[in-house]
Amino acid sequence: MNIIVAIGGGIAAYKTLWLIRLLKKENHQVKVILTQNAMHFVTVTSVETLSENPVCVDLWSTSETSSHENEHNMHHISLAKWADFIVIAPATANRISLLAQGNCQDLLGNVIMASKVPLAIAPAMNRQMWENPAVQKNISILKERNVEIFGPARGSQACGDVGEGRLLEPEEMMAEIDRWVRPMTPTFSHLLITAGSTQEPIDPVRYISNSSSGRMGIEIANYAYQCGIDVTLVYADINPKLLDGLASNIKRVCVQTAQQMLVAVENQIHQGRVENKPYEMFIACAAVSDYRPAQYSEQKIKKTNENSFTLELMKNPDIIRQVALDKKEGLPYCAGFALESENLLQNAEKKLKEKKMDIIFANPVNSINAQLSSITALWQVGENMVSKDFSYDEKSENAKYVLQLLCQNYVKNLREQKTI
């Protein structure tokens, strides 16, 4: 995980040096931003040595960390893009106020403004300062913006006072950060997932498709990989920029049509069984065309003088149904998605049963290319239908939830079958 640790100008800044050590021990990549005032409390040398990275202190310094060519000298943007998580420790009363205002006068302010990743602050200050209504008001503003507040602790303070305002101990901060950044422990090891939208050719230049971006599948694949799961992605027509974001160790198979996707999926499942690494989980996330042209024209179809043109379509294979029917010893657990423009839950339930899926994630049609999507998961326990709603601002967060639920349900399913 790429973590930015920002150190503010507070007396407790020395504790953050130990936090950097703890993060490094857990194999996190750490880049440190020192505010100008923080440099009165800790040195660049200590921070660079512990973090094993150049320290970032100035908005105007030439970027050493910029990996994006068009961001030369835009240190704040490249840092914001690099990070998966940002923590400010100690967060001084001044910094808390700057954050609440959205102030961008220094490097840290700009990085925060340019970042969308989770932000946590560990306040540390004299107890009177902490109790000050201005500070408390600023804290409540930050909470409303989903900034995570670590501590502060109560106890004796550097100034001699006793009360609330102490920076959490490094181990306590580490435990808080862990809750955010540690991926869950997966309950299965091999995942086969489809994503993107199939294309059904009509002639050499035309095809039937749909507007699914493939983003959800990519997000699930990446998160699964991050959790240590071995992932294979079978995909059709995903924007290359989106594919660039796929973890490089994820095995990928590119197809165009629904028929090709079925063949690729079946090959993978077969191969997995032969190699004794059966896919325990299959997630059908691709938007597969239900129909394809009955005939493909080798030549481009010409416009005629007729006012209408009839294209005969025939049914495509139903990939998830096929996989569910071919299960061996209950594997793979089959998860599908239902995108519906009406009667969302009734239609999703019907699909779940007809296609013999283990679980279905129902999406309203307006989520197809949106960042925000609300999802209802439906699955059967005995005779009863169980449902769970969730909705996060980012598809990546929804993807995490999807995978967490699948991990839980996979184990419950095994227990029901008494295989564990």
Please give the residue ranges that form the binding site for ligand FMN (CB under 6 A).
8-12, 35, 37-38, 90, 92-95, 124-125, 129
Query: What is the nearest approach in angstroms of ligand FMN to the Cβ of residue 286?
Result: 48
For residue 192, which amino acid is it?
L
Q: How far is the CB of 163 from ligand FMN (least distance, A)?
A: 13
CA-CA distance, 298 to 209, in Å (whole number)?
A: 19
Q: Which one of 56, 104, 159, 407 is the catalytic residue?
A: 159
Residues 32, 6 contacting (CB under 8 angstroms): yes
Paired tokens of 369: 């290319």
- Which of 15/400 has CB closer to ligand FMN? 15
Cβ distance to ligand FMN smaller for residue 126 or 413: 126
Nearer to ligand FMN, 147 or 261 (CB): 147
Q: Which CB sits closer to ligand FMN, 11 or 263?
A: 11
CB of 181 to ligand FMN, least distance (A): 23
Amino acid identity for residue 101 in this structure: Q
Give me the amino acid identity at 136.
Q
Please, which residue, 107 or 255, has the CB nearer to ligand FMN? 107
Please state whether beta strands 153-156 and 162-166 pair in parallel, antiparallel, or not at all (unpaired): antiparallel
Residue 128: CB minimum distance to ligand FMN, A = 11
Active site residue 407: no
User: What gap in Å lies between CA 30 and CA 45, rounded to an integer?
Assistant: 15
Least distance in angstroms from the C-beta of 7 to ligand FMN: 8
CB of 86 to ligand FMN, least distance (A): 15
Report how far residue 343's alpha carbon sits from residue 116's, in angstroms, rounded to the nearest whole number: 34
Tell me the pairing of strands 2-7 and 29-34. Answer: parallel
Nearer to ligand FMN, 7 or 324 (CB): 7
SS3 per residue for 97-157? HHHHHCCCCCHHHHHHHHCCCCEEEEECCCHHHHHCHHHHHHHHHHHHCCCEECCCEEEEC
What is the rounded CA–CA span in Å between residue 393 and residue 391?
7
Least Å from the CB of residue 8 to ligand FMN: 3
| H/E run at residue 270 | helix 258-274
Give the nearest distance from C-beta 56 to ligand FMN in angstroms. Answer: 13
Closer of 46 and 97 to ligand FMN (Cβ): 97
CA distance 342 to 78: 42
Name the nearest CA neighbour of 167 among 366, 340, 391, 7. 7
Beta bridge mates, 287: 197
131-137: long-range contacts, CB 8 A cutoff, minimum separation 24:
131/163, 131/164, 132/93, 134/93, 134/97, 135/93, 135/96, 135/97, 137/100
Identify which of 221, 331, 211 has the alpha carbon closest to the alpha carbon of residue 278. Answer: 331
SS3 82: helix
Nearer to ligand FMN, 92 or 409 (CB): 92
Q: Which residues are marked as active site? A: 159
